[in-house]
Amino acid sequence: MAMPKDNKTRAAETGGERKSPGSSDTLRVRAAWLYYIEGMTQSDVAEKLGVNRVMITRLLSEAKKRGEVVIRIMSPLAPLIELQNKLENRFGLERAIVAPLEDENDAPTRVIASAAGVYVTETMHNNMTVGVGWGQTMHTMLQFIEGRPLEGVRVVSLLGGIAQARRSNPAEFAWQFAELFDAEGFLISAPALVDSIQTRHALLEHCGLEQILQMADYCDVALLSCGGISTLTTSYRLGHVSEAERQSLIEAGAVGDLLYNFLDKNGVPVDHPVNDRSISMSIDRLKRIPNKVLISGGAEKIEIMQAILSAVKPSVLITDEATAKRLLDTAPA
């Protein structure tokens, strides 16, 4: 498989990253924040944003002409830029994307999905392998992605499916995502949770499913979402995890799940039979993927997001404004 060019290589060849319409404002204000407020050099700003120095000079000049830089950044985007920088510094992220949320009591699904759709549209290119999870936010994201025909793209589902014919089925999501880019889709044709350890072993070892997970080991980017456990999120609404199992998972210390790996507050899979029956990429394997994007938000997911940010270490976080503030308020100093 041809290896994709990294951001710096593409920026050097094209004179900067390609940005979709509307993203130039964010890039300009982000550059201004880093240069004027954070005190970084233009070269450092260029490296941070993955563009060349000529573009940074142009962006800073334009920011001045627009009146966005007058000792401080005069832009409604500035508070979000500050949140993004704090998240990046606190959790060691390569990039944080924070979507504005007018009322923190509103469900953040659509605003996160919209921001994620823009990011995915910009990220996709020829000859890449994309591992995908699932969930309501991921499903909503599909409508915000600008699909286009690409060559040599493979989309690999990172977990099994569900028996019910629902739109949020992991396999259906992976297939719809692949169709957006005329990509090949590789699905795990088994339930996300099976009845026993023995069934799991047989399916992985004797039915070819392990080969799909091995393909996912080498994906260029993994798009992930997580679920809380204190409320009836996707897994429990679908009846995939029973109420009795949910309660026993909580008693075992679980704060939520990532690809049906139920984790404690430290990001360690809890000792529970459900974890032994899941057919999905394990946390240990997931950690080895260098480019992981966590797309999640909501008050009920703070603990599991903290655990994932600490232990799994995604490279990119896409969330909403209210969740970003909660993560920073509750994170260890």
For the residues 285-294, what does the mean pLDDT come to? 96
What is the share, in percent, of the chain residues with pLDDT greater than 70?
86
Q: Which tens digit of pLDDT belongs to each residue from 176-191?
A: 999 999 999 999 888 8
Q: What is the CA radius of gyration of the chain?
A: 20
CA 59 vs CA 23, 41, 47, 176: distances in Å:
12, 14, 14, 37
Q: For residue 99, what pLDDT is reported?
A: 92
CA 196 vs CA 19, 199, 250, 275, 277: distances in Å:
47, 5, 21, 10, 6
Q: How confident is the model at residue 333 (pLDDT cuts 50, 70, 90)?
A: low
Q: How confident is the model at residue 307 (pLDDT cuts 50, 70, 90)?
A: very high
Q: How confident is the model at residue 16 (pLDDT cuts 50, 70, 90)?
A: very low
Q: Which domains does the chain possess?
A: 7-75 (1.10.10.10), 91-330 (3.40.50.1360)
Q: For residue 291, what pLDDT is reported?
A: 97
Q: For residue 11, what pLDDT is reported?
A: 38
Q: How confident is the model at residue 163 (pLDDT cuts 50, 70, 90)?
A: low
Q: For residue 159, what pLDDT is reported?
A: 92
Q: How far apart are CA 117 and CA 35, in angstroms?
A: 28
Q: For residue 325, what pLDDT is reported?
A: 96
Question: At 176, which amino acid appears?
Answer: Q
Most confident of 72-86, 156-170, 186-200: 186-200
Q: How far apart are CA 41 and CA 38, in angstroms?
A: 9
Residue with tokens 């019910």: 164
Tokens of 326: 């909660």
Q: Is the pLDDT of residue 218 over 90?
A: yes
Give the chain's largest Cα–Cα span: 67
Q: For residue 189, what pLDDT is reported?
A: 82
Which tops the pLDDT comparison, 6 or 77?
77
Q: Which tens digit of pLDDT belongs to each residue from 28-81?
A: 989 988 888 778 899 999 999 999 999 998 999 888 888 787 655 556 677 899
Q: Is the pLDDT of residue 8 over 80?
A: no
Full-model pTM: 0.78
The residue ranges of DSSP E strands in 113-197, in sequence order, are 129-132, 154-157, 184-186
